[in-house]
Chain A
Amino acid sequence: MIEVESLTKQFGSKLAVDNLSFTVKKGEVLGFLGPNGAGKSTTMRMITGFIPPSHGDAKVCGISITDNPRVAKTKIGYLPESAPLYNDMTVTGFLKFCASIRGLVGAERNDAVERAIETCFLGSVAKQSIDTLSKGYRHRTCLAQALLHDPEVLILDEPTDGLDPNQKYEVRQLIKRLGKTKAILFSTHILEEVEAACTRAVIVDRGRIVADGTPAELLEQSGTGSLTDLFREVTTRDTEAAA
């Protein structure tokens, strides 16, 4: 469903993503781990077609994002890192706008909006203006936007960032549930989420994959049975990078 082939991104002299390749199949939830600045968001932005790769390609459902971006983008639901929203709109208004732009019209559009509101527990704020929402609701509104067109591929950049423990739990359950029928790529800093929601995880560091496997395999690889130990072992710390 998602095939990333030697994806590379160079910003000036800085190599943000270095020849990255991996695949996510249908029914798979791939956790994308790595320290800040490892190139996670950049990779996701390239797969979703927001920024063009310097080299390489990403295929979504077999469609190349560089050759045929318009069609490939219809297959993807994307939650950007900061969960950006149009603050002057209401939750329902915003979701209707996103559904229209995805080509949904009439009853089909209204059904899609209703379904997304239900899935993301937004019923109580549906009529509320977005600039009055708390962070958790803002995040879920943006997540709802990614689910509207029932995409085959979901790309979620830190979907649980800034949520309270209850909301984190709900979103993880949601990812797990959706992951049965879709291909999901999501990034996170929270290592316990890997065990809670992922079928597989990769750890990236400075634009390269440094570990790849199921949660069980990664735990075994760590030697100590702790993902944190493995994470600290395979990734570069800021202090080392500066040295």
Chain B
Amino acid sequence: MHSSLTIYKRELASYFSQPTAYAIIVIFLLFSLGLTFTFGEFMRVGDSSLEWTFLFWHPWVYMLLAPAVGMKLWADEQRTGTIELLGTFPVSTWSAIAGKFLAASTVWLIALLLTFPIVITVNYLGNPDNGAILSGYLGSFFVCCTFLAITMLVSACTRDQVVCLIVSVSICVLLLLSGYDPVTRELSKIVSPAVLDGIVAFGVWDHFSSPNSGLFRLKDFVWFGSIIFVCLLGTSAILSAKRA
């Protein structure tokens, strides 16, 4: 626990002592709010729930930016050889994984919290259900954590950050497209309904749409939780296997 906290602090400080965190946060805010006022048609629709105008765009932005935050986590450690220090300190691999994962999640939590002006705006202009907005934010954060966990798993496999970025983005794109309505419609022409159901259940939208609309379903959080858990478990397995 203590060592996790130490690693967490180091990782978080490393994000903010370099331009990484600032760049990511600024770009995230520009994109998420930019999309709200352009394609989200925030002003024209006049919907104060934020579901379609704002939160809907988050997974699309995470798809590109979450891997950019997570790619260095183990790739850099392996490239510079500091993994040898970490591996000979009296800490378990799990506490290092937990510390690193939580640090990357914290960067995103800060980014999400900094979108607060839009929440104030809808409360000023309309009368939204703030519980539903909170649920949407939570869903959005979980999508991001899922992408981070996938990136972490990929970053344990390679010492090259660029390879890690490309592979992780591809996986995230795949998760995002399976279950995205236009894609589902096209797929329904080729595959059987049972296969299609499987593909949809595998994708992000099936699990993001309900918390985003204010519906807090346990099964969605089980889905996010299990993907994150499996990815972290895989990270630990890969790191141990690489040393043997």
**A interface, CB within 8 angstroms of B:** 45, 48-52, 69-71, 73-74, 76, 78, 80, 82, 84-89, 93, 97-98, 100-103, 145
Contacts and interface: CB of A to CB of B under 8 A. Distances in A.
Given A52-B243, A74-B90, A103 B2 contact: yes
A210 B48 CA distance: 79
Main secondary structure of the interface of B (DSSP, over half): helix
| Leading 5 A-B pairs by shortest Cβ distance | A84-B81, A73-B90, A50-B87, A100-B6, A48-B88
Contacts of A71: 90
Q: Which of B17, B81, B82, B88 has the most CB of A within 10 A?
A: B88
Contacts of A69: 90
Nearest to B87: A50
Interface string B76-120: 000011111101111110000000000000000000000000000
B146 to A, nearest CB: 27
Contact of A84 (B6, B13, B85): B85
Interface in B45-88: 80-85, 87-88
A52 B241 CA distance: 10
A109 to B, nearest CB: 11
B123 interface: no
A80 B81 contact: yes
Nearest to A86: B82
B90 A70 contact: yes
Interface in B175-194: none
A34 to B, nearest CB: 20
B7 interface: yes
B197 to A, nearest CB: 44
A45 B90 contact: no
B236 interface: no
Given A70-B90, A102-B89, A103-B2, A84 B244 contact: no
B210 interface: no
A93 B13 CA distance: 10
Contacts, number: 66
Interface string B157-178: 0000000000000000000000
B38 interface: no
A45 B81 CA distance: 13
Contacts of B91: 101
Contact of A97 (B2, B10, B92): B10
Nearest to A94: B10
Q: Which of B13, B82, B92, B243 has the most CB of A within 10 A?
A: B82
B6 A76 contact: no
Nearest to A145: B85
B18 interface: yes
Q: Which of A71, A87, A88 has the most CB of B within 10 A?
A: A88
Given A50-B243, A51-B244, A76 B14 contact: no
A213 to B, nearest CB: 29
B130 interface: no
Contact of A50 (B13, B80, B88): B88
B81 to A, nearest CB: 4
A86 B90 contact: no
A76 B88 contact: yes
Interface string B108-149: 000000000000000000000000000000000000000000
Given A73-B88, A74-B90, A80-B81, A101 B3 contact: yes
Nearest to A155: B88
A86 B90 CA distance: 18
Given A52-B243, A84-B82, A102 B90 contact: yes
Given A50-B87, A71-B90, A98-B89, 15 more contacts: A45-B84, A49-B87, A70-B90, A73-B88, A78-B85, A78-B88, A80-B81, A82-B81, A84-B85, A100-B2, A101-B7, A101-B89, A102-B89, A102-B90, A145-B85
A224 B83 CA distance: 43
A85 to B, nearest CB: 7
Contacts of A87: 80
Contacts of B80: 84-87
Contacts of A89: 10, 13-14, 17
